[in-house]
Amino acid sequence: MIALVARSLGRVAAPLGALVAVLFGFQVALIAVAASFSRSGEFERLAQIVPAALRPALAPALTSFGSMAALGYFDAIIVLMVVGWAIYVATEPAADVESGLVDLVVARPVPRHRLITRSAVVSFGSTLALTLAMGIGTLTGLWLLAPPGVAWPEGRLLWLMISHLTLLSWCVGAAALAVSAWTRRRAAALAVVSIASMALYLVDSLGLWWSPMEMAARLTPFYYFHGGPLIAGTSDPAQNLTVLGIATIVALAVAYWRFETRDL
């Protein structure tokens, strides 16, 4: 198992390292921007210029230095980057089938489920590495750049942001693992899960602005991670994390079942 995980990690080490650096750097840069706004007293004005439709999601993050430091965890691009990474790594079983590497591995006494476990470990582990790198980036930025006397974001808030983003990525990654346990082409698995994720993200965004879509939005994993309500303290983190965790477990179970029963 260790050899399988090490091999998979070896294949993604370079892009993972680059992504860690980008996300770490972004968090540090965000603190620098927040420090600049704080020094020039722009936070109140900033919250007012956010369009009304986006206020529930974004405005709470733009009211203080502490809350802006958390913005980097739920910015759409950042969320989709982290989720996209989880999807890419989780489609490894399909890539193994496509390239024929599965023949070499499974022809040895390696149970099939280990390939799913390996990809889950690498997808979940590397996603956790990304979100932890973001957390370290935030703390580094705060230590280096926070103006004296401003309130830092609460540790609990940072922890909630990291845990929500991590679990959201795991949930989508597990879905990607399930799809890749079905397909013979990595590109097919990537396309299906990426397009579905984008569509679900849009459904969730529409649900924020338009109440008839809210019920549909509840069916998307993105519904369970909105940074604004977390900052404002109006969402239920335990419920969000439970829903995301259960969805992750269900998708993983489907992946194990399908890979065990399919032709390779």
Token output for 133 = 């790198």
Task: Spell out the long-range contacts of 259-263 with Cβ–Cβ below 8 A and sequence spacing 24 or more.
Answer: 259/93, 259/112, 259/113, 259/115, 259/116, 259/181, 260/112, 260/113, 262/181, 262/182
Q: What is the CA radius of gyration of the chain?
A: 20
Of 22 and 264, which has the nearer Cβ to another protein?
A: 264
Task: Identify the sign of the CA torsion 242, 245, 251, 254.
Answer: negative
Residue placing its CB nearer to another protein in the complex, 103 or 154: 103
Could you tell me the two tokens for 68?
């802006």
Q: Shortest gap between Cβ of 126 and another protein (angstroms)?
A: 17
For another protein, the closer of residues 196 and 264 by Cβ is 264
Closer residue to another protein, CB minimum distance, 106 or 196: 106
Residues that bind another protein (CB under 8 A): 3-4, 7, 10-11, 99-111, 261, 263-264
Question: Nearer Cβ to another protein, position 13 or 253?
Answer: 13
Kindly write down the DSSP assignment for every residue of 152-174, as one continuous string.
Answer: PPPHHHHHHHHHHHHHHHHHHHH
Q: Least CB distance from residue 56 to another protein, whole Å? A: 46
Supply the minimum distance, in Å, between the C-beta of residue 11 and another protein: 7
CB of 229 to another protein, least distance (A): 43
**How many residues are present in the chain?**
264
CB of 144 to another protein, least distance (A): 36
